[in-house]
Structure 1
């Protein structure tokens, strides 16, 4: 049986966290620069529609 490469798995988790954090920071910056977008995002949440970020899961 092959030995699990924990360092690789850890690196992948770290890259995913970094990617998620960068996306979050980018969205915050967009909202800060364009306050009108915040209202659209709230409307999506009220309708129960995600902002399109979970579309990759399908």
Structure 2
């Protein structure tokens, strides 16, 4: 029977914790730079527009569909 690799599991937990901390810091910085998005009034609309632009960029990169000009 194989042994559990505890070092691997520990490293994965550390990486996940670091990623979560970086995401929190990024959200905090965005809230500081854009106070309107922090209360959720205009931030949702901006996020939706960004998501559409990201989807178009991803599709163009994959070559599945041509990017739509905005």
Give the match for residue 12 of structure 2: 12
1:40, 1:10 → 2: CA distance? 36
The 5 Å alignment of 1:1-58 reads 1-40=1-40
Secondary structure of 1:40's aligned partner: coil
CA distance in structure 1 between the partners assigned to 2:39 and 2:8 by the alignment: 41
TM-score normalised to the size of structure 1? 0.68
* Larger Rg over CA atoms: 2
Aligned residue pairs, count: 42
- 1:39 deviates by 1.2
TM-score where L is the length of structure 2: 0.57
User: CA RMSD, aligned part only?
Assistant: 1.5
